[in-house]
Amino acid sequence: MTLLKLVYRLVACAVFLAACVDPALLETEMIDPPVFVLQIPEREDAVAAAEPRPTATPFAAPRPTATPFATPTATPGSTRSRILLGLLPVGRVRPTATPVPQPTPDGEHRQVSVPMLMYHYIEEPPSNADSIRFGLSVPPDLFATHLDLIQDLGFETISVRDVINHLALGTPLPPKPIVLTFDDGYANHFTNALPLLTERGMIGTFFVISEFPHSGNPSYMTWDQIRQMVRAGMEIESHARLHESLAGRSEAYLRNQARGGILTFEQELGYTPRVIAYPMGFYDQRVIDIFRDEGYWAGLTTQNGLLQDNRDPFRMWRIRMHPDMEARELEWLLSEEGLAWLAGQQWVSGNR
Give the total number of structural domains in the chain. 1
Q: What is the largest CA-CA distance in the chain?
A: 119
For residue 236, being part of any structural domain is answered with: yes
Closest of 184, 180, 120, 130 to residue 155, by C-alpha:
180
Sign (positive/negative) of CA torsion 88, 89, 90, 96?
negative
pLDDT, tens only, 228-276: 999 999 999 999 988 889 999 999 999 999 998 899 999 999 999 999 9
Sign of the torsion angle spanned by Cα atoms 129, 134, 137, 142: positive
Q: Which of 309, 273, 283, 339 shows the shortest CA–CA distance to 117? A: 339
**Which domain covers residue 324, as residue numbers?**
111-348
Q: Per the domain annotation, does 42 fall within a domain?
A: no
pTM above 0.95, yes or no: no
CB 167 within 8 A of CB 308: yes
Tens-digit pLDDT profile for residues 291-314: 999 999 999 999 999 999 999 999
Domain annotation covers residue 232: yes
Angle (CA) 273 312 116, round 5°: 65
Q: Which residue, among 66, 62, 64, has the nearest Cα to 46 in the 3D structure?
A: 66
Q: Is residue 267 part of a domain?
A: yes
Amino acid letter, 169? L
Give 150-188 as a 3 state SS string.
HHHCCCEECCHHHHHHHHHHCCCCCCCEEEEEEECCEHH
Residues with Cβ within 8 Å of residue 326, at least 6 apart in sequence: 142, 145
CATH number, domain of 183, equals 3.20.20.370
19 belongs to a structural domain: no
